[in-house]
Amino acid sequence: MTKKLIKEYLNTESEGFIEPDDHEETHQIKQNELIDNVDITSSTKHFDLQLAHGPYRVDYFRNGRNLLIGSKKGHVASFDWLTKNLTCEFNVRESIHDLSWLQLNDRFALAQKDWTYIYDDRGTELHVLRQLYRVFRFEYLPYHYLLVAASDQNFLTWLDVSTGQYVKHFKPTKTNKITNLTQNPRNAVVLTSHYNGSVSMWTPNLNEPVVKMLCHGSPVHDLCVDNQGRYLITAGVDRKLKLWDLRTYKNLSTYRLSQIPKSIAISQKNILAVSSGEVVNVFKDCFQRNVTKPYLKHHADGMIDEVRFCNFEDVLGIGHENGFTSILVPGSGEPNFDSYEANPFLTNKQRREAEVKGLLDKIPAELICLDPNSLTQLNSETGESRRTWKFDNTDLMKSLEKEVGQKTNKKIKLNRHRKSEILEMIKKEKKEKIKKFQKRKLKKKKSRFASRNKEQLAD
């Protein structure tokens, strides 16, 4: 089926943006005016929680139904934000630096003062991860079951949630201190921002970044990648917002802001939200053209700590120092959802089946690379898939030096057949050496016996 047929028969819903009147701008429209002109179900999606434990961190579950909030004073709550049914609420009595949902909406991770804790949907503590010490940012890779963490001591850690094993735990060398963390949804590569204005891309298979970009001349506060993995947005202390093309690593456009940006987020329909101080500016079509005016503008009740878009809903969540606010952003969410991918109406039976299917379809961490299309490529000469062989080739180099008669320090890449041939040659050489050594021993023994016999005869 072509894309046109899929859109016509399967994706029947379409997004709707605000259409202003003549001589009217969309950023002049306030939330109260939007609520008065939408239906009742959409108007209930705008609400404000006045909480005294802020500032708050925010995380929506992948299906856009559950919401998790946590404050720096220890208050944690998870609930269904559509029905307003509270799942759990408790206080850990210490600071919370970041939080993240795990594979399903019945478990979540909290980066507390010293260690990382995992809780269930009832607020029961399940695990304490003491190796994740003083973590300040989380990122979860759902297709690999990996929880990626960045600590104050500049450590990067990949934890396999399904087995509890640490896939990678190291401290990057020759890199500045990490300020933030995000992922590329296309290839599961983790991106980190640094104090020197650079952005690094990491995989759990290497100790060095696969790509390193100098994006700003000052520390980078936040960064995010769109759902297709094509564009990167960075926000720096120099009050600049930059858009980058991840296919060419070139700067597409630069925006000058009136204040230092604190948090940025991008929706499923490429709508960008930028928070600075108590104000949130929402931009539309910033990847297609240079935008001079925001799409929407909202003033929060306090200093904003984080902004997050909700999947499959035209909603933006704002965590600030006085609580949490949910505002309407028409056209930001994907109107059509795949029930096999992320189902907002998930039942208990479907949840159990999704957990088993997810474990069966789990992608190994070794397959994370910068270009995922390279995994399916074939070698045109041999017709075999590309494989890298890792083995100690010191003996092979010695044998090759004997054959060629010249010493070299270059690493030789050997294919499968050549490797087996040279190993057989080495085995033959060893057998010949052993035979020669045994012959020498026999000759020495014979000569000793002969000399003894001569002495006895002489006596």
Is pLDDT above 90 for 253? yes
**Given phi > 0 = left and psi -120 to 50 = alpha, else beta, which region is 336?**
beta
Share of the chain above pLDDT 90, in %: 66
Of 25-29, 233-237, 355-359, 436-440, the range with the lowest mean pLDDT is 436-440
The pTM for the full model equals 0.80
**Pair 227, 268: CB distance under 8 Å:** yes
Interatomic CA distance for residues 304 and 277, integer angstroms? 6
User: Across all residues in the chain, what is the average pLDDT?
Assistant: 87
DSSP-derived secondary structure letter, 372: G
Query: Around Cβ 56, how many Cβ atoms within 10 Å?
Result: 30
Query: Around Cβ 115, how many Cβ atoms within 10 Å?
Result: 16
Is pLDDT above 50 for 11? yes
Average the pLDDT over 374-390 and give the result.
Answer: 57
**The pLDDT of residue 23:** 81
Average the pLDDT over 433-459 and give the result.
Answer: 72
β-pairing, 250-256 vs 190-194, is unpaired
Interatomic CA distance for residues 336 and 316, integer angstroms? 18
**The pLDDT of residue 386:** 47
**The pLDDT of residue 388:** 44
Is pLDDT above 70 for 55? yes
Average the pLDDT over 406-431 and give the result.
Answer: 60
Of 22-26, 328-332, 404-408, the range with the lowest mean pLDDT is 404-408
Share of the chain above pLDDT 70, in %: 85
* Residue 82 pLDDT class (50, 70, 90 cuts): very high
Is pLDDT above 80 for 396? no
Average the pLDDT over 151-179 and give the result.
Answer: 94
**The pLDDT of residue 389:** 41
Q: What is the per-residue pLDDT across 328-354, written as a single tens digit (0 to 9) for each? A: 999 999 988 888 888 888 888 888 898
Q: What is the token pair recorded at 75?
A: 């208050």
In angstroms, what CA-CA distances link 40 with 46, 347, 407?
11, 25, 81
**Domain ranges for the chain:** 34-328, 394-459
DSSP per-residue string spanning 130-192 = TTS-SEEEEEEETTTTEEEEEETT--EEEEETTT--EEEEE--SS-PPEEEEEE-TTT--EEE
From the candidate CATH numbers 3.40.50.300, 1.10.40.50, 2.130.10.10, 2.40.10.10, the one assigned to the domain spanning 34-328: 2.130.10.10
Closest Cα partner for 185 from 246, 135, 240, 137? 246
Burial of 405 from C-beta contacts in 10 A (0-12 / 13-18 / 19+): exposed
